[in-house]
Amino acid sequence: MVELVPTIDLSSWHGDSSERTAIAAQVDAACSRVGFMQIVGHGLPDDVVNTMLRATDALFALPLADKLALLPPHPGVNRGYAPRAAESLAYSQGAEKALPDLFEAFNIGLDVVPDEPFYRDAPHEFFAPNLWPAALPSLRPALTTYFDHAVGLASTLTDVFALALRLPERWFRPYVDRSTLTMRVNHYEGRDGDTVPEPGQMRMGAHTDYGVVTVLYADPVPGLQILGPDARFHDVVPRPGALLVNLGDMTALWTNDRWRSTLHRVVPPSAASGASRRRSVALFLDANYDARIACLPTCATAEQPAKYPPVLAGDHLIEKILGPRLGRASGGVHTARDRVNRQG
């Protein structure tokens, strides 16, 4: 039986050319078939992961008033605390009406922003300062250390992508070297007094990721579902020690959907699952906000021309961010539009 989300060992990526070619071939197959993979041999130290998890547990255990003090100044700032039911990610797929999602989250970006015009003059406050709780000083070093490791892994993955797509070495680097990086710590937990989810209400509504590649830590408990090649949702529980990796809309646009930006969601726990708490930490490597993303010449033919017009990565990103927070259909590229109505 073919594993829906294949496991790929990245530990030999810095070996000889045959090892690198073998890894790239595995990544190409995973990206072409399902757009998700499990990465082992990723090099993130266990102590960094565990320290991050302890710190985030402490964050979400803070009194609600302390967490609400970390709200961003307005919906376009992708930093700080997002309360339960504050977003509906289905809007990012162009939905006209959606139920609120049942998660709370905390977002950070670069903690030390270079004092350069590119960053100072960025539109939409893409490099806004992080918001840290004064009562929890351990949070900042725990999250920023994990962030730095995850960014390194995501950057390495773009080099794997270049080889897999038969592009020059490090081809993607100029598009992501000043990325609007975001890390989102998601927390799902049933609590006394919570209302019963409405029919069809999700812990996180079905959506694609918006950027280039996502590196995801997820607790090994049920909840995450991805849309498979059969147009049905399938449960995904990561293997111990593995990180999940999936593609975003910009990579689907570059590859003309040869590689999938996969629709995924988080469903409420069933009585049989026995797990009401679930944690996940997503590092989003987006393109530079001024990067013009267009279909690669090698991914379009006369018979299969480019499906999407070129876009500026920052314009796409802010549209996707604002829709779920303002309760309106997002603009930008909808790479899963032809799959949304076939989900089952």
Domain residue limits, the chain: 7-340
Residue 308 burial class via C-beta count within 10 angstroms: exposed 0-12, middle 13-18, buried 19 and up: middle
Contact 220, 278 (CB under 8 A): no
Residue 342: what pLDDT? 45
Residue 224 token pair:
């995450």
Q: Which fold has domain 7-340?
A: Jelly Rolls (2.60.120)
* Backbone φ and ψ of 231, nearest 5°: 65, 25
- State how far the Cα of 300 lies from the Cα of 305, in Å rounded to an integer: 5
When the pLDDT of each residue in the chain is averaged and rounded to a whole number, the result is 93
Q: Is the pLDDT of residue 278 over 50?
A: yes
Residue 135's CB is within 10 A of a number of other CB atoms, namely 12
Residue 83: what pLDDT? 96
Q: Is the pLDDT of residue 286 over 70?
A: yes
Instruction: State which amino acid sits at residue 10.
Output: L
pLDDT band at 337 (very low <50, low <70, confident <90, very high): low
28-43 confidence digits (pLDDT tens):
999 999 999 999 999 9
Three-state DSSP class for residue 16: coil
The mean pLDDT value for 80-109 works out to 95
Q: Is the pLDDT of residue 262 over 60?
A: yes
pLDDT band at 343 (very low <50, low <70, confident <90, very high): very low
- State how far the Cα of 59 lies from the Cα of 235, in Å rounded to an integer: 28
Three-state DSSP class for residue 235: strand
Q: Is the pLDDT of residue 2 over 70?
A: no
pLDDT band at 194 (very low <50, low <70, confident <90, very high): low
Q: Is the pLDDT of residue 24 over 90?
A: yes
Look up residue 298 and give its DSSP letter.
G
The mean pLDDT value for 104-121 works out to 97
Residues forming a β-bridge with 279: 187
